[in-house]
Amino acid sequence: QVFERPEWAHRAMKEAKNIWFSTARTKCLLKVKNTIKDYFEMSEFFPDQKIKDEGPEYFTIQARYSHYNEVVPNILRFLPAITVLEPAELKAEVAWRVNTYKP
């Protein structure tokens, strides 16, 4: 018997940026200081990352993720220059990880 990968699985793995992929995705919106904008223009740190509104001090990034581990490590990496605007659940997850960290 030969296993054949379904088309949806092939497509999902081709589009995946990491091991945390799924067909169900959640949109997030991040507020980022312009002092680190170059990083986001040169590399994609978040799945389906798109730079949106740009202002004199901040810009926003829209992304879609399947699992917190797709986005939280990079959010923590760029603190305090990045803030989660939405969804509230992601904002709470980041706050929980920061507040429970014990060196």
Per-residue pLDDT of 53-103, as tens digits, reads: 899 999 999 999 988 999 999 999 999 999 999 999 999 999 999 999 988
pLDDT computed for residue 19 by the predictor: 66
Name residue 101's amino acid: Y
pLDDT value at residue 29:
98
Query: DSSP per residue over 23-84, as a string?
Result: S--EEEEEEEEGGGHHHHHH---STT-EEEEE-SSEEEEEEEESSGGGTHHHHHHTTTSEEE
pLDDT tens for each residue of 1-33: 888 888 887 777 777 666 666 678 899 999 999
What pLDDT was estimated at residue 79? 97
Claim: this prediction has a pTM higher than 0.75: yes
Domains of the chain, first to last: 7-100 (3.30.70)
